[in-house]
C-alpha cells in the first residue's frame, strides 16, 4: 500500500488517506482480505500522527472498505468491487451536485459550468499524455 500525503493540499491528511485507500481498493491494488499496515506503521511511513491514521481507518471501516479483526489487524473487506465502485460514484455525484449549486449561487448557468468543466477535463487529459 502506498500513501502520499501533502500538507499543501486542501483536504485534511486523514481524508487524503481515506481517498487513496479507497482508490487502491477499487482499482484492485489492494485485494480482498489483504492486511493493511498497522496504524502505527502507516503513521510512521506517512510521517503523520497515529490519531490521523486511526481516524482514517475508522471512517474506512464505517464505510465498509476495511474491517478490523481483533488482535490481528485491519483488512480489506470482501465486499464486491462493484458495490464499492457504486458507493464511490454516489459520493462523487453528491460532490458534483454541491459544485453545481455553488456555481448557480455564483451566477453561472448550467451551460457556462459545462463549458468550464469540459475545458478543465481537456486540460487535465492533456497533462496526463
Contact 69, 75 (CB under 8 A): yes
Q: What are the 10-residue block averages of pLDDT along the chain, 129 residues in total?
A: 89 95 90 94 95 97 92 87 80 93 96 93 73
Q: How far does the chain reach from its first CA to its final CA, in angstroms?
A: 25
Distance CA 106, CA 127 (A): 28
Cell numbers placing 124? 487535465
> What pLDDT was estimated at residue 30?
92
Domains in the chain, start-ordered, CATH in brackets? 13-76 (1.10.10.10), 81-127 (no CATH)
The model carries a pTM of 0.69
* Placement of cell 472498505 in the chain: 65
- Give the chain's count of helices (H) and strands (E): 5, 2
For residue 128, the model assigns a pLDDT of: 57
Amino acid at each position: 500500500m502506498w500513501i502520499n500525503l501533502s500538507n499543501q493540499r486542501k483536504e485534511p491528511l486523514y481524508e487524503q488517506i481515506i481517498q487513496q485507500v479507497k482508490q487502491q481498493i477499487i482499482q484492485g491494488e489492494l485485494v480482498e482480505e489483504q492486511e493493511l499496515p498497522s496504524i502505527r506503521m502507516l503513521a510512521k511511513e506517512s510521517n503523520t500522527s497515529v490519531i490521523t491514521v486511526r481516524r482514517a481507518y475508522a471512517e474506512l471501516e464505517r464505510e465498509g472498505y476495511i474491517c478490523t479483526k481483533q488482535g490481528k489487524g485491519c483488512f480489506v473487506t470482501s465486499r464486491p468491487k462493484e458495490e464499492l465502485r457504486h458507493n464511490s460514484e454516489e459520493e462523487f455525484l453528491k460532490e458534483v451536485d454541491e459544485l453545481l449549486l455553488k456555481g448557480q449561487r455564483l451566477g453561472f448557468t448550467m451551460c457556462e459550468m459545462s463549458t468550464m468543466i469540459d475545458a478543465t477535463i481537456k486540460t487535465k487529459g492533456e497533462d496526463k499524455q
